[in-house]
Structure 1
Amino acid sequence: MSFLGKKYTFDRGENFDEFLKLIGLPEDQIQKHFQFKPTTTLIKEGDKYKIITVHNDDTKETVFESGVPFDETIDGGLKLKTTYTVDGNTVTQVIEHPNGNTTFKREYSDTELKVTITAENWDGTAYQYYNA
């Protein structure tokens, strides 16, 4: 698991703007979102994992145990149930919400993090690519 503790920096996305429209983000916020290059790091601490995401001056830390659902509050105060499952170099996050589940599949390598985003009520697939 050589990817643990490694910082990955956002490089590019595919179809991510369509995903943001699907979840109801206003157009001005979508455009603003693409101006930033967040970083993300996955750390293992005992039986728990921590994903640290730095987006400008905002740092978000998410602590989880693989396969254990927990309540999470996202931007706008929306409370959702989230489950992360770690399987080798893949971390799959399933978010349950009233409009259907959304899945973020993070595939780590020594040089890249690829995030595949799908949603139950969407025919599309979005991708985000990060470089180590």
Structure 2
Amino acid sequence: MSFTGKYEVESQENYEAFMQIIGIPADTIQKGKDFKFTTEVVQNGDDFIWSQIYPGHTMTNRFIVGKESEMETMSGKKFKATVQWDGGKIVVDFGKYKHSSEIAGGKLVEISEAGGATFKRISKRIA
């Protein structure tokens, strides 16, 4: 299934605990926990443009599955990573945490894991 679309956050689980583990400052966590940001994905085969649009800031990662690409983490750190397919999911190791994304029931389901905490975000398709 194609990831292409625009998605709005519908629900999040374990946001605060996960963000603390990966080193996000408490004030940033408080500001970010209630943002209803959007994710916009353009997929052309294994080529992706993945943007998260926050109030006043957009973070965009461009990558080709199976090829090393420069990526940016939630905390703004840049590094090189290789996104892989795992069944219908795309997975990437961001160093401090592992992240997977899939389309399930027409929704974008993202799971990040670090230090025993699992952060789950579900976003509904809006376009």
What TM-score, normalized to structure 2? 0.82
Match of 1:103 in 2: 98
Matched, 1:18 2:12: no
Indicate conservation of the 8 Å contact 2:101/2:108, yes or no: yes
Match of 1:6 in 2: 5
Match of 1:38 in 2: 37
Give the number of the structure whose alpha-carbon radius of gyration is greater. Answer: 1
Indicate conservation of the 8 Å contact 2:22/2:97, yes or no: no
TM-aligned CA distance change 1:22 to 1:112, over 3 Å? same
Identity level (%): 26
**Cα distance in structure 1, aligned partners of 2:39 and 2:63:** 15
Which amino acid is the alignment partner of residue 39 of structure 1? T
Indicate conservation of the 8 Å contact 1:83/1:95, yes or no: no
Which amino acid is the alignment partner of residue 50 of structure 1? I
Q: Map Cα deviations across residues 33-56 of structure 1 (whole Å, 9 max, x no partner).
A: 013111112212465211121111
Q: CA RMSD in A?
A: 2.2
**Cα distance in structure 1, aligned partners of 2:120 and 2:77:** 23
Indicate conservation of the 8 Å contact 1:102/1:118, yes or no: yes
Match of 2:53 in 1: 54
**Cα distance in structure 2, aligned partners of 1:92 and 1:60:** 18
Q: Map Cα deviations across residues 54-90 of structure 1 (whole Å, 9 max, x no partner).
A: 1113222211010222333557663423221235531
**Cα distance in structure 1, aligned partners of 2:89 and 2:73:** 23
Q: Which has the higher contact order (CA 8 A, sep 6+)?
A: 2
Indicate conservation of the 8 Å contact 1:89/1:109, yes or no: no
Match of 2:83 in 1: 84
Deviation at 1:92, TM superposition (A): 1.0
**Cα distance in structure 2, aligned partners of 1:4 and 1:126:** 20
Indicate conservation of the 8 Å contact 1:42/1:52, yes or no: yes
Indicate conservation of the 8 Å contact 2:15/2:33, yes or no: no
Matched, 1:125 2:118: yes
Query: Number of aligned pairs?
Result: 125
Which amino acid is the alignment partner of residue 117 of structure 1? S
